[in-house]
Structure 1
Amino acid sequence: MQFGRRQVLAGLGGLALGNVALPSFARTVMHLGDAEVIGLSDGNLVLPAAFFFQGLPQDELDLILSRHNVPRDQLKPPCNLTLLRHEGRIVLFDAGAGPAFMPSAGEIPDSLEAEGLTPGDITHVVFTHAHPDHLWGILDDFDEPVFSQAKLMIGQAEWEYWTDPDTVDTIGAARASFAVGAARRLAAIEGQISLFNGGEEILPGVMAHATPGHTPGHMSFEIRDGSSAVMVGGDAIGNDHVAFERPDWASGADQNADLGARTRMRLLDQLATDDIALLGFHLPHGGLGRVERAADSYQFLPADA
């Protein structure tokens, strides 16, 4: 198993962030036999910290955030998409945020260009889930499919949830726009979509794992060659601080916080026990690293550390 890394700057366009320095992002690479797994930047999100931390034990939370130099007011989680090159296939896991969600995200076309690729070169797009920063990049500024030549794949439970007309009325006001946006985009690409379930090998060497909680049908994907593997974790593990030190805590980012915590604990145990690398969508240093137990919690060891 080999790791490599080079720094690239995400083009953040005209985003105005005052005096805040624009972050840099890592391109990460892992080789599994003749497969190449690459972490590519789609930029970053800008979110209020309360979105993640409201309702948590504040004294212990302050200690964790202080150890990791995490601000209490605003977070800027990176967005790391995964690209798999294997046996003539070029597979993109998630489509990024696209132009309509947040000005600091939506940079995957530039990252693909840096790889010498265009959207037309992508043979498959596999979705972990249908939140805006993972799905909305499937359409361009003119609502035309970006990956028009690709086979698109999403878990059946996730598809059924976001295409259910009742979802917009049950998801809660804060996420109602997510439901409207997902339904519109999934309708636009319905002719390209195929569905699968957890436990299925969806492509050679790629196993789907049901990891619900963040969304009802959230999926992670184990890419394996012999004894070496990496898990494309999506948002099942959302950060490198609270999620690892206190995976049992509920996260405001999860639609079902209790289920999300149970999934997180199970997944972290699997990754540490089976020595599976992790490429997390919102993890630092390009998202690629390993999970190790640390006393009664876990820690994330970036590949470039």
Structure 2
Amino acid sequence: MTLSRRELLRGSLLTGGAGVMASLAGLPFSEAGLAAAPKVRIQTPGMYRFSVGNFEVTALLDGYIDADPTLIPSYDGLKATQLYQDQFRPPLAEKIRIPINSFVINTGEKVILIDSGTADNMGPTLGQFTGNLKAAGIAPESVDAILLTHMHVDHISGITSKDGKALFPNAELIVHKADWDYWNDDGFMSQAGDFMKSNFVNARAMSAPYLKRLTLVEEDIEVLPGIEAIAMPGHTPGHTGFILRSEGQELLIWGDVVHFTALQFAYPEWSIVFDSDMELAEKTRRKMLDRVSADKLAVLGSHLEFPGLGHVARNGDRYSYHQSSWQYTL
């Protein structure tokens, strides 16, 4: 619809404002226009669709977690506070709120899930993946493949029920061999702290129903038509990104390259303690930031603010993130 000045004026004359509408209804203006109503206090479903060429991508929100700044060893509170002010964000609280996102790609031939949230493993502010998948109208049995960026609890927990049944009964599970080997290594598990040890247990339990439909990736390769796996180690040994290519358009799904949207573009050296190798994670992050900023390649992130879609610009040795505008048509 194209709105002209004439149509705007005509609409104003026809409606005459709230006072005229109230008179037509036979009500005092105060009763017609200022009636109290209870607040809903419920956010809309966490789902958003956009296209990449002929691919339709649906971003699904699992919820959010409030992270303690001590999870960032190089954290500087004054610098972080200034970044929040510069980006017109609410004042930085004691915790840093980050989302957890998953994605579904419909290529026209296959339906592919990338990561699956936390289920009920990480508290009441999370676990919305399954409900948002349903709200998006995506039936679990329609999913042909599950691609995992890695096997942490907030990425794998939505694929299997508590009683050990595959929630995506027709799906092939595709994961990097380095990640698979790490999470199934009893030696690494025995050295882990309690929280990370629970990640080992969870990774094994969630992947168990898919063992007969398991594909392990060992190199950068096209794993499905139009989808290339790219090794991005550091956060975990087999942390993996996926490049979508369709009709001349590209998008990089980069998993956990960035956890803190407001902070890590300006300070790529701020790694998180959950990185299995923080030095390698920083190296990978800088490499990816260089690449996407130089190539103007759109990114989609598991912890970028929902729906996690945007571009990166380089500013000297720092970067800035620019969230994509709403896609009105698919």
What TM-score range do you get, normalising by the shorter chain? 0.7 to 0.9
Are the aligned partners of 1:129 and 1:158 in contact in 2 as well (CA < 8 Å)? yes
Q: What are the equivalent positions in structure 2 for 1:1-305 lying under 5 Å apart? A: 27-51=47-71, 53-68=72-87, 69=89, 71-304=92-325
Are the aligned partners of 1:109 and 1:119 in contact in 2 as well (CA < 8 Å)? no
Q: Distance in 2 between matches of 1:249 and 1:47?
A: 14
CA shift in 2, pair 1:23/1:261, >3 Å: farther
Q: Distance in 2 between matches of 1:259 and 1:72?
A: 29
Alpha-carbon distance, 1:271 to partner: 0.7
CA shift in 2, pair 1:65/1:56, >3 Å: same
Q: Distance in 2 between matches of 1:25 and 1:222?
A: 26
Alpha-carbon distance, 1:55 to partner: 4.0
The one-letter amino acid of 1:40's match is L
Structure 2: any 5+ residue segments left out of the alignment? 1-40
- Percent of matched pairs sharing the same residue: 27
Structure 1: any 5+ residue segments left out of the alignment? 1-20
Tell me the alpha carbon deviations over residues 59-116 of structure 1, each in whole angstroms, 9 at most, x when there is no partner. Answer: 4334334434463422331111111001321101012212333322222221121222
The one-letter amino acid of 2:75's match is L
Are the aligned partners of 2:146 and 2:172 in contact in 1 as well (CA < 8 Å)? yes
Q: Distance in 2 between matches of 1:276 and 1:40?
A: 21
Alpha-carbon distance, 1:196 to partner: 0.9
Task: Please identify which structure carries the higher strand content.
Answer: 1
From the CA coordinates, give the structure whose radius of gyration is larger: 2
CA shift in 2, pair 1:22/1:283, >3 Å: farther
Q: Distance in 2 between matches of 1:176 and 1:267?
A: 29
- Secondary structure of residue in 2 paired with 1:185: helix
- So what's the TM-score if we normalise by structure 2? 0.79
Alpha-carbon distance, 1:288 to partner: 0.6
Alpha-carbon distance, 1:240 to partner: 1.3
How many residues are treated as equivalent by the alignment?
A: 284
Are the aligned partners of 2:311 and 2:321 in contact in 1 as well (CA < 8 Å)? yes
Are the aligned partners of 2:160 and 2:207 in contact in 1 as well (CA < 8 Å)? no
Q: Distance in 2 between matches of 1:45 and 1:112?
A: 19
- Cα root mean square deviation, aligned: 2.1
Are the aligned partners of 2:61 and 2:306 in contact in 1 as well (CA < 8 Å)? no
- Secondary structure of residue in 2 paired with 1:63: helix
Q: Distance in 1 between matches of 2:270 and 2:116?
A: 29
The one-letter amino acid of 1:275's match is K
Q: Distance in 1 between matches of 2:311 and 2:288?
A: 12
Are the aligned partners of 1:109 and 1:118 in contact in 2 as well (CA < 8 Å)? no
The one-letter amino acid of 2:198's match is S
